[in-house]
């Protein structure tokens, strides 16, 4: 088990994870990040036509290990 930290980036804002979560491996951390982004987006639909959310997963030494992101684009067809 190792501690992974999940830093959230949403458009021009970012929030650093100071506590982290103990998980067995990076694959599990990536799945946790993807689920977190999906839950956050489901709670609120942004009004902007282009919206990006990302989670950067890092280790205790602040080294980035992976990035999981979701981009929502709304466009009218007529």
Q: How many domains does the chain have?
A: 1
- H runs (alpha helix) in 7-74: 26-43
- At 9-59, the pLDDT tens digits run 987 889 999 999 999 999 999 999 999 998 887 777 667 777 789 999 999
Contact assessment for residue 6 and residue 21, using Cβ atoms and an 8 Å cutoff: yes
- At 50-66, the pLDDT tens digits run 778 999 999 999 999 99
Domain membership of residue 78 (yes or no) is: no
Q: Which domain holds residue 17?
A: 2-73
Q: Give the integer Cα–Cα distance in Å for 50 and 7.
A: 21
Q: What does the radius of gyration of the chain's CA atoms come to, in whole angstroms?
A: 14
Domain membership of residue 44 (yes or no) is: yes
> Which pTM was predicted?
0.84
Domain membership of residue 9 (yes or no) is: yes
- Helix, strand or coil for residue 19? coil
């Amino acid at each position: 088990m190792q501690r992974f930290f999940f830093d959230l980036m949403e458009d021009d804002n970012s929030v650093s994870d100071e506590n982290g979560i103990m998980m067995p491996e990076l694959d599990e951390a990536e799945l946790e990040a993807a689920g977190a982004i999906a839950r956050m987006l489901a709670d609120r639909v942004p009004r902007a036509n282009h919206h990006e959310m990302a989670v950067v997963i890092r280790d205790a030494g602040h080294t980035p290990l992976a990035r999981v992101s979701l981009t929502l684009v709304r466009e009218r067809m007529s």
